Structure 1
Amino acid sequence: MQTVQIPLDRASGVAIEPRSFRNTLGHFASGITIIAGASDGEPIGFTCQSFYSVSTEPPLISFSVMLNSTTYPKIRATGRFSVNVLSHSQHEISNQFARKGTDKWAGIDWKPTAKRNPVIAGTLMWLDCEITAEYVAGDHYVVIGRVHEMSTPEWHAGQPLLYFKGQYRHLLQLEAG
């Protein structure tokens, strides 16, 4: 795997204040995932809302993680990871994995995939992936992963945990009538 630096165009002359940029992007609702792996036989992971599908042939996904992450380098060293898409009832898990310096796996029920990556119980769905590319883009890595295993349709029950305007949200179910 090669890390590539993506050049950024600084010729626009428009200064965008980081907090304003973040607030504006907060109007884009996104799902919440836990990117997980194993290091020295122990589960590791972090909360990630920047996740999306890239390709179906071959099956590729992507996520972004800050350059100063302390967990991602351990995942990178193994070359593989799982993506756990959280359900609407798992906001506490999202908060737990977002904290630094704590035991993120305390009280978390999980099982390993065939490649030994953690799958968190009760997630909406999961994927098991191999890192195929990584790019530096500003203050983040953009990571591309090839999917080798995934949850079955029977697994996919419930509603997603969403993040919108700085708060967790869930879908409202309207009754047909």
Structure 2
Amino acid sequence: MDPREFRNALGYFSTGVTVITGKVDDKLIGLTANAFSSLSLDPPLILVCIDKKASSMAAFNKQSPFAVNILQEGQEDECWRFAKRAEDKYEGASYTFSKDGVPILNDNLATLECTVEEVLEGGDHYIVTGRVQSASRNEQLKPLLFFGGKTGHLAE
């Protein structure tokens, strides 16, 4: 299987966009992820797939808190800011802190506050499962979508 063709084909599955946020010691981490899914309603579990080479993997230890920021159409800057390698991805970002000290982006479509349940091997990625501790959403907003390597919006 040609890896580039495989990647291109997967790019034609439209998804929402998330930014996964957390911290390692006092350092804030964040990464854009579209490999995200609900996993279980009882108990409430989600999963996100993270590249094994990602420096932010150090934040995902058993029971470590993290947040899934589900982006809305006005958050394209956040999508691309957290997709790049940078020393301080939070520079210019608008966020607050959860009670656990995890950064939460402002104005999300939805936010899930989680703790790490398990980290599993998955080829060149880790599959991080998270137990959802709290969830919130804004029904007035519309999702940011990802398709074919580009962000987009729902048509009216």
TM over 0.5: yes
Q: 1:118 aligns with which of 91, 98, 103?
A: 103
Q: How does 1:42-121 map to 2 (within 5 A)?
A: 42-76=27-61, 79-121=64-106
What amino acid is the match of 1:158? Answer: L
Quote how far apart the aligned CAs of 1:123 are. Answer: 0.9
* Mapped partners of 2:104, 2:56: distance in 1: 17
In structure 2, what residue type is equivalent to 1:99? K
- Identify unmatched segments of 5+ residues in structure 1: 1-15
8 Å CA contact 1:84–1:123 kept in 2: the answer is yes
Which stretch has the larger CA shift, 41-50 or 54-63? 41-50
RMSD: 1.5
- Give the C-alpha shift of residue 115 in structure 1: 1.8
Find the residue that maps to 2:55 and give its secondary structure: coil
Higher-Rg structure is: 1
User: What percent of counterpart residues are identical?
Assistant: 34
Higher strand proportion, which one?
2
Q: CA deviation at 1:166?
A: 1.2
Q: Residue 58 of structure 1 aligns to which amino acid in structure 2?
A: P
Deviation at 1:81, TM superposition (A): 0.5
Farther off after superposition, 125-134 or 111-120: 111-120
CA deviation map 1:17-63 (0-9, x unaligned):
11000111111000110100122334211111111100111100000
- The size of the alignment, in residue pairs, is 156
* Alignment pair present for 1:160 and 2:143: yes
Aligned partner of 1:40: which letter?
D
Distance 1:128 1:138 in 2: 26
